Amino acid sequence: MSATALVVVDAQESFRHRPYFRADDVPAYVERQQALIEGAVRLGVPVVQVFHVEDTGPFSEASGFVRPLEPLVIVPDVVFAKRRHSALVGTGLDVWATRRGIRRLIVSGIRTEQCCETTTRHASDLGWEVDYVGEATLTFPMTDVAGRTWSPAEIRARTELVLAGRFARIATVEEALAAAAAGRAAA
């Protein structure tokens, strides 16, 4: 049994229907996210899919957009729905992971600085070791109060900076999978 779980946060079609959505970085994100998912499956690491849901709009289940971001292929071991930024608030993910002896979470998905970062901080505060795989996260340009637009690359760098060594180990896809394999071998 794996002591690690891969958490894929909000990698869903709903985002295509937000005004800030940009497709520029989607191919690179999907390639890295898919490599992480496939590597986890090969290692026997459970894949957790988390969807953000709201009562109305493109994040409502009635919209039909609360499904994996295309062309991502994911067959999760378990699916949770969340209504907050952290995938650990009110979803049951924490109970599921604790009951299975999960000690490390690999965090990936959409958006880098929002739900992925919040889930990482929350998981760390609850005692999990966390590998944050920034290259397997996606976000979109943001404009701050001073009018400066931050690129997705800048947002990712800032997110990795504030998480590194405090809340998570910043890892590539390959490093996260290697740690999961080493943890499995040690068990």
Q: Which helix (H) or strand (E) holds 73?
A: none
CA distances from 32 to 6, 36, 131 (A): 13, 6, 15
Q: What percent of the chain has pLDDT over 70?
A: 98
Q: Assess whether pLDDT exceeds 90 at residue 187.
A: no
115-156 confidence digits (pLDDT tens): 999 999 999 999 999 999 999 999 999 999 999 999 999 999
CA distances from 73 to 11, 33, 68, 112 (A): 11, 10, 8, 20
C-alpha dihedral (104, 109, 112, 115), degrees to nearest 10: -80
CATH of domain 4-186: 3.40.50.850
Residues 161-167: what's their mean pLDDT?
Answer: 98
82-120 confidence digits (pLDDT tens): 999 999 999 999 999 999 999 999 999 999 999 999 999
18-46 confidence digits (pLDDT tens): 999 999 999 999 999 999 999 999 999 99
- Residue 64 backbone class (left: φ over 0; alpha: ψ -120 to 50; beta: rest): left
Residues 59 and 57: their CA atoms lie apart, in Å, by: 5
pLDDT averaged over every residue in the chain:
96
Q: How confident is the model at residue 2 (pLDDT cuts 50, 70, 90)?
A: confident
Structure tokens at 76: 């999760």
